[in-house]
Structure 1
Amino acid sequence: MNVNRRRFTSLLAGAAAASRVLGANNRIRVGVIGTGGRGRELMRILCQFPDCDMPAVSDVIDSRMDEAVAVLQNAARPQTADKHVDYRRILDRKDIDTVVIATTQHWHGIPFLHAVQAGKPIYVEKPLSHTVVEGRTMVEAARKAGVLALMGTQQRTGPPYRRAVELIRGGRLGKIALVESFNYSNTGARTGRPPDSDPPPGVHWNEWLGPAPLVPFNRARLDSSWWFDYGGGMLTNWAVHHIDIILWAMNYPAPTAVSATGGKFVVDDLADTYDTLECSWEFPGWVMTYRYRGFNNYHTVLNRPRNHGIIFYGSQATLVMDRFGFELYDERDVSKPAEKMDGIPWLDPKTRNLVDPKTGQRTEQDGPYQRLFLDAVKEGKRELDPTLEQSHAATVCCQLGNIAYRLKRRIAWDAAREQVPGDTQAAAMLHKQYRAPFSLPEVQNAGV
């Protein structure tokens, strides 16, 4: 898949003026770019909406496209889809109203910007970008072209999260000085240590690597989140969900410094990200932390046996939360919750059913969140909550954590300028070298 520079630098003015005309009966036609595990989960969700069709899918692994088409064919309302290795064929199609980008993390930026140029609303999986500079480019391009874009942080529609944010912003916890978040899971051998080999038939390896360095095929690399060249470990794969909620609750402050320590101490595999991490962000008047254990399943909060969570510590109360709800404990009596609320992040993690046919129970995160996006596309909106700027802020926190981890030291952060002052080594890591001929559009030359 050669990337034509002229395509990159095509004027975005046309995208800004492009009218989104939905199909017959006000249907929404979605092109899916990236049909790995999360991409197919999103397809299982979207095909349950009676007004949503998916006439085209794209992936650089043929078998994943075959699986994606099977998802559609086996749905309650069967569909079929054309398959395109080159995602740009989807963007060229006039019968596609909007796109989902669920590629590996290092492939979020370029198709996002191509979709902006095509004037198509974008649902992009988290994290927003692979680097700080890439993310800023994406935010500015979407804003100036007037293209709707939403990052996949589906916790936002969960009633417990919304109630927790209401309590925190309303001062129920008092002065909050510390917010902790965590993930833990015994990942075993993770990617393992398979030998390099020729790519299997149907794996378009050069296209899979895209802007990343050219290396021999190794199936361990397909588990991309564990590699810094393609992802960012658990900070960008999971912590971005926590940090999105934390920044929302704390009214979107910006950190002034970031520290991280950890390493790959237990897991023996080929990947280069940590299995142990302690990360800390300094904000004016409070601290945010993230802890990851990739080799151990001990429950951080014993009465909430989940492998993830957030804890807000205030002078008047403490709030413990995860995707299944929250509990609030008053300082005057920490023996029992003063308030609690349960949540339903999903009904069946495999089928992603939105409604239980027996009980009528509905999911509150995956499903409603994507519906929010589809409705915004129908209504011609250009922005949603969370805004792309807010999603960028959460992603940047994770990227700074990885920079601090890789440098093994504290780094200062100038959020207004998005720079690391006085630190050329850290500043160089805010961007990356793209392997030719892949590059980001030079949007300053594209009329934006």
Structure 2
Amino acid sequence: MTHTPRRQFIKQGLLGTAGATIASLGTSAKSYAAIQGANDRINLAVIGVRNQGTVHLNAWCGLKDSHNVAVRTVCDVDERLWAPAVSLVSGKSGITPTTQWDLRKVFEDKTIDAVSIVVPNHWHALAMIWAVQAGKHVYVEKPASHNIWEGRRMIEAARKYDRFVQVGLNNRSGIAVREAIAFLHGGGIGKLYMARALCFKARDSYGVAKEGPTPAEFHYDMWVGPAAWQPYAEKRTHYNWHWYWNTGNGDTGNTGPHQLDIARWGLRKDEHPVTVYSAGGIYGFRTDDATQTPGRRVYGDVEAYGHDRTTQETPNTQTATYKYADGTLLEMETRGRYTNHEGSQGQEVGNLFFGEDGWLEISGGTWRAFKGRSREPIAGSKPDTPDGNHWANFIEALRANRKAELHADIHEGHLSTSLCHLANISYRTEQALRFDGAKEQFVGAPAADALLRRPAYRQGFEVPSQV
């Protein structure tokens, strides 16, 4: 793919005075109308329109009037998803998008300015690299990459082709979360020495991946893409791909990136940790087929089967401890079975920070801080605090031509995503590991180094060493 010229919608006048004007006005929707050249429509393609892809479609359509955004193409390898996606966009925006199953055709379309990548993890890096090489700006879902080596190639590609790349770490744009981080960075609970990331999601068995015929409307070869080839099995594709190392990263790499990102952000660590140790396993499921529980639909619109046997590979229970060069600790815990909660109000998915003078908790769009042993909060979010909009931040930074205004640039996404990968590598090798962040290699651990990247990519779907 070749690097096409910068899109016309970022005009020369916007690069100077207009960009400064946007910054001074806080990049509100009303400010755009006052800036010459800033109102050119941004045409988007959403690649991957199932589940989280639907969230993206709604988000972009919601910016149609305030930010002059149009979803022009919906792309998915499963043609059965096209009709509901087109209906959603048409109903929300009045625009009927075109459809495509081959993302390469989307990148060739010179009318598309930016793409929203909502495909399985194993496709994130290659899709993003191809997109920026074609001159597109990119919003890519978390985790940024499927492995650490790919994440570094993504940074290199974004910088080489001078594209805006936002990672879907939505908490970075959450107003209450940003308030909490500012409170921490302002010394609200003293010097921080530890953060704890929580991912407590009780999940039933997703069952056994039995191979079978590929649906006629499903372009399975394209779905596999860079991953190792395996025969089609429904329980290894839609949403279930999370639980297999070939395509996913488990819950530590699914919900975990959000909490690990907040933890690293709060600790002000713009670096990799120097050590990691992770342990866990798959607990709570039967090991035979003696009992077959009737399936029930769960999140992801897939069936789950109580305590039945599963061919899931990734752990449903996992702990990890990271240490940074200055001794600061970061802990992560994933619990996929029934559990107690943590924090003052029963956090299931969230963060805890510990400082010399107290502690702070973040749960969704709320936060509370406590001093010493007091059970009464000294500070916290207000009930009427509005949500932030991560998609809007991407558009606003793009219009201002200021990459520094991205709340989750690919560099941030890579560092936080790497925490997930480091934990999984320690878990898979059953080793406490030392990590050389400058080289992004382990120290004296060849088995761990082998998991820093995929051993091989399928022909035609290689993530390039030189972007």
Q: TM-score range by the shorter chain?
A: 0.7 to 0.9
Q: Could you tell me which residue of structure 2 aligns to residue 256 of structure 1? A: 274
Q: What whole-Å deviation, never above 9, does each CA across 1:276-307 have from its counterpart, x for those lacking one?
A: 10111111222111111111153223x42442
| 1:194 to partner: Cα distance | 5.0
1:242 aligned onto 2:256: no
Q: Could you tell me which residue of structure 1 aligns to residue 460 of structure 2? A: 437
Aligned mate of 2:410, from 388, 395, 402: 388
1:337 aligned onto 2:377: yes
1:67 aligned onto 2:84: yes
Q: Name the amino acid aligned to 1:430.
A: L
1:372 aligned onto 2:393: yes
1:299 aligned onto 2:341: yes
| 1:186 to partner: Cα distance | 1.7
Tell me: CA distance 1:233–1:20, structure 2 relative to 1, closer, same or farther (3 Å).
Answer: farther
| 1:99 to partner: Cα distance | 0.6
Q: What whole-Å deviation, never above 9, does each CA across 1:301-327 have from its counterpart, x for those lacking one?
A: 3x4244201111111010011113111
Q: Give the count of matched residue pairs.
A: 409
Aligned 8 A contact 1:258 1:282 in 2: yes
Q: Name the amino acid aligned to 2:187.
A: G
Tell me: CA distance 1:200–1:342, structure 2 relative to 1, closer, same or farther (3 Å).
Answer: farther
Which region of structure 1 is more displaced relative to structure 2, 192-201 or 391-400? Answer: 192-201
Q: What whole-Å deviation, never above 9, does each CA across 1:101-135 have from its counterpart, x for those lacking one?
A: 11001000111111111111100111111111111
1:232 aligned onto 2:246: no
Aligned-residue identity in percent: 27
| 1:362 to partner: Cα distance | 8.3
Output the CA distance in 2 between the equivalents of 1:413 and 1:387. Answer: 23
Aligned mate of 1:193, from 197, 202, 208: 208
Q: Could you tell me which residue of structure 2 aligns to residue 354 of structure 1? A: none
Q: Name the amino acid aligned to 2:354.
A: Y
Which region of structure 1 is more displaced relative to structure 2, 99-108 or 23-32? Answer: 23-32
Q: Could you tell me which residue of structure 1 aligns to residue 26 of structure 2? A: none
Q: What whole-Å deviation, never above 9, does each CA across 1:166-224 have from its counterpart, x for those lacking one?
A: 121122212322211111122112x2125211012211111111111211211111222
| 1:427 to partner: Cα distance | 0.8
Q: Could you tell me which residue of structure 2 aligns to residue 402 of structure 1? A: 424
| 1:24 to partner: Cα distance | 11
Q: Any unmatched runs of 5+ in structure 2?
A: 11-36, 286-308
| 1:89 to partner: Cα distance | 1.1
* Equivalent runs, 1:205-220 vs 2, <5 Å: 205-220=220-235
Aligned mate of 2:194, from 178, 181, 203: 178
| 1:80 to partner: Cα distance | 1.2
TM-score normalised according to structure 2 size: 0.83
Q: Could you tell me which residue of structure 1 aligns to residue 6 of structure 2? A: 18
Output the CA distance in 2 between the equivalents of 1:42 and 1:363. Answer: 19
Q: What whole-Å deviation, never above 9, does each CA across 1:16-35 have from its counterpart, x for those lacking one?
A: x4344379951111011111
Output the CA distance in 1 between the equivalents of 2:89 and 2:339. Answer: 36
Q: Could you tell me which residue of structure 1 aligns to residue 170 of structure 2? A: 154
Aligned 8 A contact 1:220 1:271 in 2: no
Q: Could you tell me which residue of structure 1 aligns to residue 297 of structure 2? A: none
| 1:156 to partner: Cα distance | 1.1
SS for the counterpart of 1:265 is: coil
1:319 aligned onto 2:360: yes
SS for the counterpart of 1:413 is: strand
Output the CA distance in 2 between the equivalents of 1:435 and 1:342. Answer: 51
Output the CA distance in 1 between the equivalents of 2:224 and 2:387. Answer: 35
Aligned 8 A contact 1:265 1:275 in 2: yes
| 1:67 to partner: Cα distance | 2.3
Aligned 8 A contact 1:106 1:230 in 2: yes
Output the CA distance in 1 between the equivalents of 2:199 and 2:281. Answer: 15
Q: Could you tell me which residue of structure 2 aligns to residue 109 of structure 1? A: 125
Aligned mate of 1:93, from 97, 106, 109: 109
Aligned 8 A contact 2:277 2:320 in 1: yes
Tell me: CA distance 1:78–1:304, structure 2 relative to 1, closer, same or farther (3 Å).
Answer: farther
Output the CA distance in 2 between the equivalents of 1:406 and 1:25. Answer: 50
Output the CA distance in 1 between the equivalents of 2:38 and 2:411. Answer: 33
Q: Name the amino acid aligned to 1:247.
A: R
Output the CA distance in 1 between the equivalents of 2:196 and 2:168. Answer: 22
SS for the counterpart of 2:232 is: coil
Output the CA distance in 2 between the equivalents of 1:282 and 1:257. Answer: 5
Aligned mate of 2:54, from 40, 44, 53: 40
Aligned 8 A contact 2:199 2:349 in 1: yes
* Equivalent runs, 1:271-286 vs 2, <5 Å: 271-283=312-324, 284-286=326-328
| 1:148 to partner: Cα distance | 0.7
Aligned 8 A contact 1:20 1:380 in 2: no
Tell me: CA distance 1:295–1:342, structure 2 relative to 1, closer, same or farther (3 Å).
Answer: farther
Q: Name the amino acid aligned to 2:254.
A: N
Output the CA distance in 2 between the equivalents of 1:155 and 1:41. Answer: 15
SS for the counterpart of 1:412 is: strand
Tell me: CA distance 1:116–1:275, structure 2 relative to 1, closer, same or farther (3 Å).
Answer: same
Aligned 8 A contact 1:91 1:118 in 2: yes
Q: Name the amino acid aligned to 2:342.
A: T
Output the CA distance in 1 between the equivalents of 2:385 and 2:79. Answer: 34
Output the CA distance in 2 between the equivalents of 1:149 and 1:377. Answer: 10
Q: Name the amino acid aligned to 1:371.
A: A
TM-score normalised according to structure 1 size: 0.87
Which region of structure 1 is more displaced relative to structure 2, 30-39 or 249-258? Answer: 249-258
Output the CA distance in 2 between the equivalents of 1:314 and 1:123. Answer: 34
